[in-house]
Amino acid sequence: METTAGLTFRDATDADVDTLVALVESAYRGDDSRAGWTTEADILDGQRTDPEGVLAVIKSPDSRLLTVERDGQVVACCQLEHRGTYAYFGMFAVSPTLQGGGLGKVIIAEAERIARETWGVTEMHMTVISVRDDLVAWYERRGYRRTGEMTPFPYGDERFGVPQRDDLQFELLVKPLV
């Protein structure tokens, strides 16, 4: 466990699954997500994740699901996955009522530090829905660059949501960790 800026970072356990599913859902889906700026409610309905998906990340030997607490309450999470020379950053969620106050910046910087120090990786990769211009711009301000490398959205697989438009795809963003 590490403490930074009044936040406690720890690896998620099986006991955190329901709390983390609720956090991720609240940050991206439904009316609750509209309290924050990361909502995907206008482009996707349905679920963002499920207990099985969260548990799989917790159990994966090459992954860490960082749980972020403030005053004993889970306020954010993010996945780090070791993939050779780089780490993959995903499942990033900050409680919608706490978004916009700088918490995300602190968390992503700490996640980058942990990945660099734990695995010795030289890059962080992530995928973002390409039409999320505000979110892509936020990551660009953190040093990530657009690669133009696209992956199709998994239309028809409701584990990833129910698309409200037909132009969704994921773009790879990359940041050197030096």
Model pLDDT, residue 27: 78
The pTM of this model reads: 0.91
Instruction: Name which of 52, 53, 25 is nearest 38 in CA terms.
Output: 25
Per-residue pLDDT tens over the stretch 13-39? 999 999 999 999 887 776 766 766 676
Pairing of strands 73-83, 63-70: antiparallel
At 33 the pLDDT is 64
| CA angle at 133 for the pair 30 and 128, rounded to the nearest 5° | 70
Q: Which pLDDT belongs to residue 44?
A: 75
- Phi/psi of residue 88, each to 5°? -100, 135
CA distance 146 to 167: 18
Per-10-residue mean pLDDT, the chain, length 178? 79 96 82 68 75 94 96 96 97 92 94 97 96 93 97 86 87 96
pLDDT of amino acid 160: 78
Query: By the 8 A CB rule, do 9 and 67 touch?
Result: yes
Round the average pLDDT of the chain to a whole number and report it: 90
Give the three-class secondary structure for 18.
Answer: helix
Place of tokens 């992954």: 63
Helix (H) or strand (E) holding 59: helix 51-59
Percentage of residues of the chain with pLDDT beyond 70 = 92
For the chain, give the longest Cα–Cα distance. 42
For 57, the token pair is: 């990340």
Q: What are phi and psi of 84, to 5 degrees?
A: 75, -115
Q: Which two tokens stand for residue 157?
A: 């697989």
Nearest alpha carbon to residue 146 among 168, 126, 167: 126
pLDDT of residue 28: 76
